Amino acid sequence: MRFQQLNEQLAYVSKCRLEMARLYARLHSAVDSSRVKLMLEYLQQHEKEVSQKIDDYIEEAPNRLLELWYNDIVFEDFIKRCQDVIPAANMNEDDLLELHLDLDNRLIGLFEKTAESSVPGDVKNALNDLVRVEKIQQQRLVHSSLRMEDI
């Protein structure tokens, strides 16, 4: 997929987050482990919230930022990638965490690529801040997952 304006990219990432939530719902009905089901419920809710926050940002952000044009931002068909994941009943917490981090890192990578293509200023700073926040959330998720194993 090729993006020309920042608002297109943000809208697509919002859809990708919803697709991740749908993936986690599909996995939830297939897995056997109650711990994995618990993690999937959390991840579903988290992805829906992130999608909503992106949608809210699109509504509130100045048009001058959202209408910035980019020449060479190309991204994979992320929605198809999510749809192609085959649920496995024996999925464990590590498998789920690995899947989630892979998907999450792909979306973060898109923002990093866009930030690198941006001229210094408000948009570049905002995208870099978004990447930083996403990485912090990932660290918290990993730590929470490790603490869950101790219970």
Residue-wise pLDDT tens digits, 35-64: 999 999 999 999 999 999 999 999 998 898
Q: pLDDT for 140-150, tens place per residue?
A: 988 888 777 65
CATH number, domain containing residue 57: 1.20.1260.10
pLDDT higher than 90, residue 3:
no
Is the pTM here over 0.75, yes or no?
A: yes
Q: How far apart are CA 44 and CA 18, in angstroms?
A: 8
Q: Given this model, what pLDDT does residue 34 score?
A: 93
| Mean pLDDT of all residues in 113-130 | 89
Q: For the chain, what percent of residues have pLDDT higher than 90?
A: 71
- Provide φ and ψ at 67, rounded to 5°: -95, 15
Encode burial over 8-21: b for 16+ CB neighbours within 10 A, e otherwise: bbbbbbbebbbbbb
Instruction: Provide the number of structural domains found in the chain.
Output: 1
Parent domain of 129: 2-150
